[in-house]
């Protein structure tokens, strides 16, 4: 068990049950680094939460992480202390995170064109395709 991280990342305040999506998206099952995955931990703020501890600093796309759960906090650990605490927010623009499902969209036939979406409604977590105005939910991310 990974008791204390000396240098690495702690992804905290993940909505209970959503941690596996992040674990899989980050490919942590294939990483050579030590990883602790805590499910349904008690939390005063959230009642229950998931936590991921990575005993190494790795590159993470925070935009995609915020799609899964914008309430996540990411703690960067250096010398066994939190050196930086990052709060996530829904990004205004994302590229190649959501896929446009509209068969008439140019991205359906021209596969080299990136799928670009812009935040339409932050409360509903919906995004609009840059090319055809198709609306997708951030929850559609897989």
Query: Tens of pLDDT along 13-63?
Result: 998 988 898 898 888 989 898 899 999 888 888 889 999 999 988 888 887
pLDDT digits (tens, 9 = 90+) for 83-130: 999 988 888 998 888 899 999 999 999 989 999 999 999 999 899 999
Domain total in the chain: 2
In a domain, 119, yes or no: yes
User: 27 and 78 in one domain?
Assistant: yes
Contact between 23 and 33 under an 8 Å Cβ cutoff? The reply is no
**Structural domain boundaries enclosing 77:** 8-87
Rounded distance, CA 121 to CA 119, Å?
6
The CATH number linked to 70 is: 3.30.70.140
In a domain, 130, yes or no: yes
User: 107 and 57 in one domain?
Assistant: no
Helices (H) and strands (E) in the chain, counts: 3, 9
Tokens found for residue 52: 């991921």
């Amino acid at each position: 068990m990974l008791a204390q991280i000396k240098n690495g990342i702690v992804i905290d305040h993940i909505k209970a049950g959503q941690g596996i999506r992040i674990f899989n998206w980050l490919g942590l099952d294939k990483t050579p680094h030590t990883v602790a995955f805590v499910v349904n931990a008690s939390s005063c703020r959230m009642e229950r939460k998931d936590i991921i501890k990575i005993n190494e600093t790795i590159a993470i796309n925070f935009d995609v992480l915020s799609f899964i759960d914008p309430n996540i906090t990411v703690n960067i650990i250096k010398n066994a202390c939190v050196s930086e605490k990052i709060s996530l927010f829904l990004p205004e623009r994302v590229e190649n995170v959501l896929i446009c499902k509209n068969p008439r969209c140019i991205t359906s036939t021209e596969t080299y064109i990136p799928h670009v979406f812009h935040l339409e409604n932050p409360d509903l977590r919906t995004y609009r395709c840059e090319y055809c105005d198709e609306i997708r939910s951030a929850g559609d991310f897989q």
